Structure 1
Amino acid sequence: MDSDSGKDRIERATPMGEEGKLKKNRIFIALLLIVSVLLLWNARLFWIQVAASRSFAGRGIDLVENSVVQREKGIVLDSGRGDFYDRSGLSLTGTTLQVLTLFPMKEELSDEEKSRRRKETAQVAQILNIPAQPLHDFINGLKSPQIWKRDGRPAALTDAEVQRIEALGLANIRVMPYKLRYGAPQAAGQVIGYIGQNPERVTRQFTDQFHKGELQLTSKIGNAGLEKTFEPWLQGIGARTVSLFTDAAKRPLGGLDLREVAPNNPYYPLKVMTTLDSVLQSRIEARMDQLGISQGAVVVLDAGNADTVAMASRPYFDPEHIDLQHEDWSNRAVKAVAPGSIFKTVTAAAALEEHVTEPGETFECDGELGEYGFTCWNKEGHGRLTLEEGFAQSCNIVFAKVAQRLGGDKLEQYARKLGLEVPVGWTGDAPGVSVFHQLDGEEKGQIYHSDALKKDGGALVQTAIGQRDVLVSPLQAANLVVTLLHQGKVLSPRIVDEIRFRNDRLYYKFPAQRLDTVKERAIKPATAKTLLEFMGEVVDSGTGQSLRSAKWELAGKSGTAQMTLKNGHPGENHWFIGYGPADHPRYAVAVLIQNVPEGQPNKSVSLFKEVMNVLAGSGQAAKS
């Protein structure tokens, strides 16, 4: 029994020994796998450090640069965004300045280093003609690189200041080129618009770029004006930055020190070439300010092709410091408001086209119509006068009687044909966009608030003189003049002519074109010629006689629209539209002064004269 028990123990022990061997084998295999993984890992690290650090250039990755990124303190000198230019190639945005760039240095300084730093700061302050202590305190408080600013803007250095500062050879105070997007003041600011953060639009409109990492929620994109409409072509391919590399003690690293990084691409960023003349734009804005125009707009179109030469809006706003709660940043040149008597141009065109009157027909004005409580601005009445004289004197009664013959439907029909109640700014195909509108926020305006009013006699006579529900933008008004100059053809004003690559090769050209909604002539050439003659009579003997002293012979039409101001008091919009020089038109102009308290002098004729004198003095033409 004892021998059997021993036998059993031997038989039971044999399987246990095999299990032990199997366990050891598994451990060995596991260790072998671990060693293999470690070897592969080390080989991978070796390849990265040796091969990839020298290479990766083809993929735009610099691993040496990334290995010291934690010790890098940088600043963006140029966002890489595309810029706007005027018709002569002069920059409207993106002025490059030489600025003082300040970098933080090591925190613990010896007495000798402190004395040297203070002396260096004093030298720089003397060159800049500023107190030394504020500059010294500013540098000592730096946690990251900063640009020296005055009044909240990067301070531009003169050539002499640059030379003297660079001669000092300072480690933490350098002169660098900095691209300032907006000027002070910014010409055509409300046309160009502004950039800013807009996470909702980034994820909705630029989904692909967001998912690829090309845009972040904090990225600045165009939020208004041309910055917004041309955003797809303005996005750059990388910023230009400058960095100071330091060691753990915040001392410049040998061989690295200051490094400037920028994408090297001859094609990007793209350049947006506008039709604006920056010199004329600035001069016109200056005239508006000199006349104290607090709210209003001026539009100057090229009489030859309707291109926008100048588009000014007031009040001015600073695109570098936007406060949408307190500032009016909208472009009033494309906002529709009550036009007043400039709309009589449309009424006259419709009446002549429909043969309900003739230029020489006489009408009687005794100051009131006798129904609807409708009166003329001249309470005493104009007496007997022709249609042409009624236009020149802006007689309400004449045009009310003409409208009664015409009817509300016809009046609205011709208004649309002439480019009112529709957006007129350039719209068409663009790269990657099937329906592209160049102008941001352009309003189409209106003639009647509802169809029922077309049958209302009181609404009809008010509409005929540009009151009641009529709304027209300054751009539409200026384009109406261009339509007459083109014998009834309605053009579509451009404000951007083309987009170019960085090296000035053409990327895309926006063709000059007629308004899509008006394929044929809106009115006959003979009618257009008659209306242009009417405008000449306004200056010769009508409401625009003060324009006879202008540098050019001019023609046009005045308008005053009654309205109610926000404070509930009566107010007016003052208009003048026209062209010049009268014998060989080069420009069509619309000026608007908005929200003028009732009883104040009408400055619209004076503003029109000032604008035309600026154009006459531009050297592009001379008074005949």
Structure 2
Amino acid sequence: MDSDIREGRNVPAEQRDEAVQLKKNRIFIALLMIVGVLLLWNARLFWIQVAAARSFAGRGIDLVENSVIQREKGLVLDSGRGDIYDRDGLPLTGTTLQALTFFPMKEEMDGEERRGTKETEQIARILNVAPPQLLAFVDGLKTPQVWKRDGRPVALTDAQAQRIEALGLTNVRVMPYKQRYGLPQAAGQLIGYIGQNPERVTRQFTDQFHKGELQLTSKIGNAGLEKTFEPWLQGIGVRTVALFTDAARRPLGGLDLREVAPDNPYYPLKVITTLDRTLQSRIEERMDQLGIAQGAVVVLDANNADVTAMASRPYFDPEHVDLRQEDWSNRAVKAVAPGSIFKTVTAAAALEEHVTEPGETFLCEGALGQYGFTCWNKEGHGRLTLEEGFAQSCNIVFAKVAQRLGGDKLEQYARKLGLEVPVGWTGEAPNIGIFHQLDGEEQGQIYHSEALKKDGGALVQTAIGQRDVLVSPLQAANLVVTLLHQGKVLSPRVVEEIRFRNDRLYYKFPVQRLGTAKERAIQPATARTLLDYMGEVVDSGTGRSLRSAKWELAGKSGTAQVTLKNGRPGENHWFIGFGPADHPRYAVAVLIKDVPEGMPNKSVALFKDVMNVLAVSEQAAKP
């Protein structure tokens, strides 16, 4: 009948329906049999897994843990974070080095000794470390690790790398490893550091946190340029290397090591600073050679106020941050008592307001006669003009000038000249809005309260940079640039531009004036007069020792009386100036902070050393 139906013969409808139903029944029975076989198969597999789990558990083996081990053993070689560069493209972060990488593996028995032990001892000899030290490190591995010394990956020489690779070991490889910070790290406080900060992740990067792009444990910039430029420095993924093994930690054939990394020609971005890495390092070396315990040096390009170098001491290691210490603070942007360098502001105000005539002299007898105010020269300077008072840093001359000015005028000119306000680059940035390049910059202070502007005693102390006056080294260096630009106040940049990974320009931060003001802080004639005054400081005043420098220099010294943390009297030693005097190339501010009273003043010596470093560099750059 089936054949009749297939051949299309006439068959009664009842018989045809019966045949179709029979065929469906056969198919259903076949499906039931297949399902039954599959169920039996799955039950058998389940029984095997349970029995195996019980068996391994009895021997202390965790199958879940071993299943994870079996998949892969990975190590992050590069966090994927963008790097910070100097103005010539030299890296300030993110140095790639050849690092020795160990992967935990089961060592098989080979005769009377374990395979791998002999090779590990060979590696120890190549590294020049004690074999027991390296063996203990290898035996204790649970996850892949880079060989480190004092918490830092050890950079292998080419010869060491070749000798280790020649051993042909599966679990020991020489891999390119990206170390975020160097040793020593140049411009450590300015660069800042990265670390975990769950509170900022949820507050500042809410969208990225909810999208899963950042976790509470993600490392983000916590200080310095790492913090302010965090939106641009964030990467798009890490570069990892993985060694695939079985549950017994034996390498799986054919898989070996695999590197995984984002393949994007544009990211991560590059932050290009205005710093000169070579000059930065040499200046820091000079600070260390002079034994500067606390202090800062700021070098600005006289043409546009760009930060060429910004050094702070004590040395800061961003790889090992201890927030209980103060060495992570960038002293170049912290405001402290300026002492007599502030007399530059007082002189500018006096000249602008015409409270003294050219050639007028002031009598210094060592004391003012009121407020208990004295000159550093207890014997007195005799009669001095304003220019001579500036060169000799006479307190009495500037106290008498300030009495003619008044407290309001003195503060007004200080603010116009870029004091009592943050001066670092601030402006609109793409997708950010108002953006401050420098982290933690302080605005400084002239008076602690409005009432003190009317206080005669406070006025004369303020005129010489004492009492409540606070100025940062960055502001002090920028004050010199303002004079060099005939009264125009610029806003120093420390980052010039941001580039894509392939070096195409992403954004350029323009050179700009401070704030929105377009007028000059002082007249060009006043600025030129003050520059001449600075020349007299070196020619015949407190900076005479600078006459032996490689360049002809000009500047102003300052000594501020402070109280140290132990309650004893101390001093801040300053020198600000420019060079070469006939064709200014750099403006420099030097601060040596919290020096015990009576200790030698090294600020002039440091200023000279910094200028000599700059002079040698300029000479070497000439064709």
Tell me what 2:103 maps to.
Answer: 103
Aligned-pair CA distance for 1:620: 4.9
Within the alignment, does 1:481 sit opposite 2:488 as a pair?
no
SS of corresponding position for 1:618 = helix
Matches for 1:399-548 after TM superposition, within 5 Å: 399-548=398-547
Which whole-Å CA distance do the structure 2 matches of 1:276 and 1:595 have between them? 27
Within the alignment, does 1:348 sit opposite 2:347 as a pair?
yes
Within the alignment, does 1:171 sit opposite 2:170 as a pair?
yes
Which whole-Å CA distance do the structure 2 matches of 1:126 and 1:202 have between them? 45
Q: Is the 8 A contact 1:616 1:622 kept in 2?
A: no
Which whole-Å CA distance do the structure 2 matches of 1:171 and 1:113 have between them? 21
Tell me what 1:553 maps to.
Answer: 552
Aligned-pair CA distance for 1:115: 3.6
The residue type equivalent to 2:300 in the other structure is L
Tell me what 1:234 maps to.
Answer: 233
Aligned-pair CA distance for 1:114: 4.2
Q: Is the 8 A contact 2:571 2:596 kept in 1?
A: yes
Q: CA RMSD in A?
A: 1.9
The residue type equivalent to 2:106 in the other structure is K
Aligned-pair CA distance for 1:163: 1.0
Tell me what 1:316 maps to.
Answer: 315
The residue type equivalent to 1:106 in the other structure is K
Q: Is the 8 A contact 2:70 2:244 kept in 1?
A: no
Q: Deviations over 1:132-177 (max 9, x none)?
A: 2221222122111011112221011000111111111110000000
Say which is worse superposed, 374-383 or 143-152, in terms of deviation: 143-152
Aligned-pair CA distance for 1:68: 7.4
Within the alignment, does 1:92 sit opposite 2:92 as a pair?
yes
Q: Deviations over 1:48-90 (max 9, x none)?
A: xxxxxxxxxxxxxxxxxxx978521111100000000001100
The residue type equivalent to 1:332 in the other structure is R
Which whole-Å CA distance do the structure 2 matches of 1:71 and 1:143 have between them? 15
Which whole-Å CA distance do the structure 2 matches of 1:111 and 1:457 have between them? 91
The residue type equivalent to 1:509 in the other structure is K
Aligned-pair CA distance for 1:622: 9.3
Which whole-Å CA distance do the structure 1 matches of 2:484 and 2:187 have between them? 26
Which whole-Å CA distance do the structure 2 matches of 1:389 and 1:492 have between them? 31
Aligned-pair CA distance for 1:473: 0.3
Q: Deviations over 1:252-305 (max 9, x none)?
A: 011211111111111111000000000000000000001110000000000000
Which whole-Å CA distance do the structure 1 matches of 2:544 and 2:78 have between them? 52
SS of corresponding position for 2:134 = helix
Which whole-Å CA distance do the structure 2 matches of 1:358 and 1:512 have between them? 37
Matches for 1:118-517 after TM superposition, within 5 Å: 118-517=117-516
The residue type equivalent to 1:122 in the other structure is E
The residue type equivalent to 1:395 in the other structure is C
Aligned-pair CA distance for 1:554: 0.1
Q: Deviations over 1:464-518 (max 9, x none)?
A: 0000000000000000000000000000000000000001000000000000153
Tell me what 2:3 maps to.
Answer: none
Which whole-Å CA distance do the structure 2 matches of 1:560 and 1:518 have between them? 32
Q: Deviations over 1:399-441 (max 9, x none)?
A: 0000000111000000000000000000001111111000000
Which whole-Å CA distance do the structure 2 matches of 1:203 and 1:528 have between them? 49
Tell me what 2:64 maps to.
Answer: none
Which whole-Å CA distance do the structure 1 matches of 2:78 and 2:357 have between them? 63
Which whole-Å CA distance do the structure 1 matches of 2:408 and 2:348 have between them? 14
Tell me what 2:587 maps to.
Answer: 588
Which whole-Å CA distance do the structure 2 matches of 1:168 and 1:188 have between them? 40
Say which is worse superposed, 118-127 or 231-240, in terms of deviation: 118-127
Within the alignment, does 1:600 sit opposite 2:599 as a pair?
yes
Structure 1 unaligned runs (5+)?
A: 1-27, 43-66
Q: Number of residues paired by the alignment? A: 563
Which whole-Å CA distance do the structure 2 matches of 1:456 and 1:440 have between them? 35
SS of corresponding position for 2:241 = strand
Aligned-pair CA distance for 1:131: 2.2
Q: Is the 8 A contact 2:70 2:246 kept in 1?
A: no
Change (3 A) 1:397 1:622: farther
Q: Is the 8 A contact 1:242 1:258 kept in 2?
A: yes
Tell me what 2:55 maps to.
Answer: none
Which whole-Å CA distance do the structure 2 matches of 1:621 and 1:456 have between them? 53
Q: Deviations over 1:355-392 (max 9, x none)?
A: 11134211110011111111101000000111100000
Aligned-pair CA distance for 1:113: 8.7
The residue type equivalent to 1:237 in the other structure is I
Q: Deviations over 1:517-545 (max 9, x none)?
A: 53210000000000000000000000000
Within the alignment, does 1:81 sit opposite 2:81 as a pair?
yes
Q: Is the 8 A contact 2:69 2:245 kept in 1?
A: no
Q: Is the 8 A contact 1:359 1:388 kept in 2?
A: no
SS of corresponding position for 2:427 = strand
Q: Is the 8 A contact 2:101 2:173 kept in 1?
A: yes
Which whole-Å CA distance do the structure 2 matches of 1:359 and 1:160 have between them? 72
The residue type equivalent to 2:103 in the other structure is F
Q: Is the 8 A contact 1:403 1:460 kept in 2?
A: yes
The residue type equivalent to 2:95 in the other structure is T
Which whole-Å CA distance do the structure 2 matches of 1:323 and 1:187 have between them? 18
SS of corresponding position for 1:513 = coil
SS of corresponding position for 1:562 = strand
The residue type equivalent to 2:545 in the other structure is S
SS of corresponding position for 2:111 = helix
Percent identical among aligned pairs is 85
Tell me what 1:21 maps to.
Answer: none
Tell me what 1:63 maps to.
Answer: none
Say which is worse superposed, 142-151 or 500-509, in terms of deviation: 142-151
The residue type equivalent to 2:78 in the other structure is D
Change (3 A) 1:521 1:70: farther
Structure 2 unaligned runs (5+)?
A: 1-27, 43-66
Aligned-pair CA distance for 1:614: 0.5
